[in-house]
């Protein structure tokens, strides 16, 4: 929210970690009832435990009477900035971003928390080490504080008009489906590069959301070859009547995934390419970093430990072999690591009886 001061604290003194601190402007919370509403909303947001929701660590009041939120510090870029710097995203990436947003909303809605101000600026994309985006949705519930303060001020539209559901523009009671409409607007933007409704003023945009049907994304962006099923999902989310939208975030996400007819495929490799471990001879899918049988590091840059070659005939064998196994059940024994194990045993012996916990740092799968 642009009404909030954003600060980065060097380190939370008790937690010993970098955090983000938001200080709420005093003019937003000018009376005790507004302050009480903020505390209620902050407490609700702190209940969110989904990995795609920003974590609220603490909240309270400063000695000067200013209200604040302490949250996990995010190093990524918001979706608006990503679109501005990179342009249109590939369809698969767009769908994956929306899927993660919906995953965060599913938990929030179950807890009775409505976001009310979903927009690209409130969607943070954190880069994964292995590639792809890790989505974080921020500012849950804070729009309600601003909205309730403005009830007695006629003509004030609360929220962001470009992404506002029709019932929100009318001042009706909101539920989780109002957030799903906003997600539909964001999906439209990701598919076409523009908003479904644009006007000369915020009021005009709200009126368009209330009265005009959204344009067909295929006509707005004819060069993108948008799948019909994906367009249908977007248009349903943009229904004026909440009853005609998806019933909940999970249903929206399921329809979204089903709209892409092709199964997800690992970038940079063919479906049938495998890595054969030289240490034990076991076949592994190319995206694996370590052999599923002996634990030896494999893949590009692993030197003599593995060879890479297309083996279409081995794919059914690998799939059958890995079927039903969870990640925790994958056999990754320590092979040829006797010196390392010996050193660890010596260190454990030195602190035996006083040890509370031990943290081992190393390569994934080691």
Which residues have C-beta within 8 Å of that of residue 156, sequence separation ≥ 6? 150
Cβ atoms within 10 Å, residue 101: 28
CB 125 within 8 Å of CB 186: no
Catalytic residue among 58, 64, 117, 175: 117
31 is catalytic: no
Task: Look at the block and give the residue holding tokens 């510090």.
Answer: 73
Which backbone phi and psi does 2 adopt, to 5 degrees?
A: -75, -5
Distance CA 117, CA 321 (A): 46
Burial of 311 (0-12, 13-18, 19+ CB in 10 A): middle
Which stretches does DSSP call E strand in the chain?
A: 4-9, 19-24, 56-61, 67-72, 77-78, 123-127, 133-137, 273-277, 283-285, 306-310
Cite the active site residues: 117
């Amino acid at each position: 929210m642009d009404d909030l001061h954003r600060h980065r604290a060097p380190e939370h003194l008790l937690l010993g970690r970098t955090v983000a601190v938001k200080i709420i402007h005093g003019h937003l919370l000018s009376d005790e009832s507004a302050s009480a509403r903020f505390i209620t909303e902050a407490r609700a947001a702190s209940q969110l435990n989904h990995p795609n929701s920003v974590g609220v660590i603490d909240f309270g009041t400063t000695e000067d009477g200013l209200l604040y939120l302490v949250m996990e510090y995010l190093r990524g870029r918001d979706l608006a900035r990503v679109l501005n710097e990179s342009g249109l995203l590939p369809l698969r990436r767009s769908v994956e971003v929306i899927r993660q947003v919906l995953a965060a909303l599913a938990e929030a809605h179950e807890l009775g928390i409505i976001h009310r101000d979903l927009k690209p600026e409130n969607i943070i994309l954190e880069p994964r080490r292995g590639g792809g985006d890790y989505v974080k949705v921020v500012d849950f519930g804070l729009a309600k504080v601003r909205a309730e303060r403005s009830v007695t001020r006629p003509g004030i539209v609360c929220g962001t008009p470009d992404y506002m559901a029709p019932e929100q523009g009318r001042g009706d009671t909101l539920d989780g489906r109002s957030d799903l409409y906003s997600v539909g607007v964001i999906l439209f933007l990701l598919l076409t590069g523009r908003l479904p409704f644009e006007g000369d003023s915020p009021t005009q945009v709200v009126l368009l959301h209330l009265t005009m049907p959204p344009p067909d994304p295929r006509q707005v962006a004819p060069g993108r070859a948008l799948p019909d099923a994906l367009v249908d999902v977007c248009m349903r989310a943009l229904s004026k009547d909440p009853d005609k939208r998806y019933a909940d975030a999970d249903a929206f996400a399921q329809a979204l995934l089903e709209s892409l007819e092709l199964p997800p495929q690992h970038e940079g490799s063919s479906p049938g390419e495998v890595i054969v471990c030289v240490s034990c001879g076991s076949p592994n899918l190319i995206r694996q970093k370590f052999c599923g049988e002996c634990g030896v590091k494999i893949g590009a840059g692993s030197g003599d430990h593995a060879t890479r070659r297309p083996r279409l005939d081995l794919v059914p064998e690998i799939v059958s072999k890995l079927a039903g196994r969870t990640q925790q059940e994958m056999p990754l024994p320590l092979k040829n690591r006797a010196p390392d194990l010996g050193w660890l045993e010596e260190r454990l012996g030195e602190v035996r009886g006083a040890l509370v916990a031990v943290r081992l740092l190393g390569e994934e799968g080691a």
